[in-house]
Chain A
Amino acid sequence: MTFPISGVHLNPAILILVGFVVGIFGGFFGVGGSFIAGPALFELGLPMNFVVGTDLAHLVGKSLVAARRHAGLGNIDLRLAGLMMISTIPGVELGARWLEQLKKTGHLTHVLGLIFVTVLIFITIFMAVEVWLTLRAKRPRSSVRKNRDLSAFSGLAKKIQRLPFPPYVHLPKSNIERISFWSIVAVSFISGIFSGFLGGGAGYIRMPSMIYLLGVPTHVAVGTDLFEVIVSASYGTFTHALKGNVDIMIALVMHTGAAIGAQIGAQLTQYLNGVWIRMAFIPLPLIGAIMLLHRMP
């Protein structure tokens, strides 16, 4: 099938399949899945500028579907999502401007690629260590089986929750008694920078940050992160469409598979507790890093 906007010839069945796989990941982990969809679209032959914009466009639809399903399961902290939105957009804008600056120096591919790979490998190692320590901790096995969200690094989140920088926020949905407003703003601002700089929704950094830095339960982090992805991806889609980087036909075809995948993924979170969701998440950033290294000249 020829897509006249980008001028490429792609197999719609493969696009639907890619969408379906990324949709399951998105619904299950609360991430956009751009670290898989991006390299896959590039491998299929889509020009790089269309890869970034089209991936963002399909993210909007998929995140809406998955967020709706998570809202039904009670996994979205709307207050936290609202507070995070305040600084996500300025972060995305700053990241996009840094990207433009870097374009002028001419070392874009290598610098971006190395930053992306370093971040992805760090997240993989950090989460692997945390999950290993959590599962190894001498707790009765019944508490791991029950729907309790245990984490070996919960002390870090407790320290951040005690930071003395008013105003403070109470987040009952996330079981957070009190946390500085500035901690939330910092997390969403930094993940916004990653989103603008590296493309995608930056869920691979926001979701772990919400769990380990803010102390949000894994299920709520997954749902709330999807809400954030909707905001950053909508903004990104609009600006990239203005610049001519979005082939909406490809996004619509991909979303046919992603919509179903996202529903299935979101439903699956009901059957696993937090530590198992985090363990399943570990290989994903690593897969993204390997695909990126393979693609780099």
Chain B
Amino acid sequence: MTPRGKSEVRRLTPETILYGILVAAFCLGTVRWLGRPLQVLFRQHRFGYAVAALLLMIVQGFALERLAHAISSLFHRGRKAGR
């Protein structure tokens, strides 16, 4: 692996781990607190359920990735400032 590749892997590994933790927490939170309301939506209000399903996937896929990236960037900036 090239030195550039190595530094890229070093930069992305913590971000990927952080993202994994956020995604798992989001999934557990949704199952724990939104399981029942989603079930009700599925049975009684299908359009609301379709919108909620799409939104949940977008939040888990996109918003959490952006959040992980932002936290990771802040951490890197803080480390550089500390040196």
Q: Which residues of A contact B (CB under 8 A)?
A: 4-5, 57-58, 60-65, 68, 234, 237-238, 241-242, 244, 246, 248-249, 251-253, 255-256, 259-260, 263-264, 267, 270-271
CB distance from B57 to the nearest CB of A (A): 4
B15-62 contacts to A (CB < 8 Å): 16, 19-20, 23-24, 26-27, 30-31, 35, 38-39, 42, 46-47, 49-54, 56-58, 60-62
Scoring A61, A244, A271 by chain B CB atoms within 10 A of each residue's CB, the highest score goes to: A61
- Whether B49 contacts A64 by the Cβ 8 Å rule is no
CB distance from A219 to the nearest CB of B (A): 15
CB distance from B10 to the nearest CB of A (A): 12
* CB-based nearest B residue for A238: B50
- Whether B23 contacts A255 by the Cβ 8 Å rule is yes
- Whether A256 contacts B38 by the Cβ 8 Å rule is no
- Whether B35 contacts A4 by the Cβ 8 Å rule is yes
Given A263-B12, A267-B12 in contact, is the A251-B53 Cβ separation under 8 Å?
yes
CB distance from A223 to the nearest CB of B (A): 16
Q: What are some 30 contacts across the A-B interface (CB < 8 A)?
A: A4-B35, A57-B53, A60-B58, A61-B62, A63-B61, A64-B62, A65-B61, A65-B62, A68-B62, A234-B54, A237-B54, A238-B54, A241-B50, A241-B53, A249-B30, A249-B35, A251-B53, A252-B26, A252-B27, A252-B56, A255-B27, A255-B60, A259-B65, A260-B16, A260-B23, A263-B19, A267-B8, A267-B9, A270-B8, A271-B1
Given A260-B16, A263-B12, A264-B16 in contact, is the A62-B31 Cβ separation under 8 Å?
no
Given A60-B54, A237-B54 in contact, is the A259-B49 Cβ separation under 8 Å?
no
> How many residue-residue contacts, CB under 8 A, span A and B?
104
> 10 nearest interchain CB pairs?
A61-B61, A241-B50, A64-B61, A248-B53, A61-B57, A60-B57, A64-B62, A241-B53, A252-B27, A259-B23
B3 within 8 A of A: no
Residue from the list A5, A57, A259, A267 in contact with B19, Cβ < 8 A? A259
* CB-based nearest A residue for B53: A248
Given A5-B39, A65-B61, A263-B16 in contact, is the A256-B24 Cβ separation under 8 Å?
yes
Given A61-B61, A241-B49 in contact, is the A5-B54 Cβ separation under 8 Å?
no
* CB-based nearest B residue for A246: B53
Scoring A241, A246, A270 by chain B CB atoms within 10 A of each residue's CB, the highest score goes to: A241
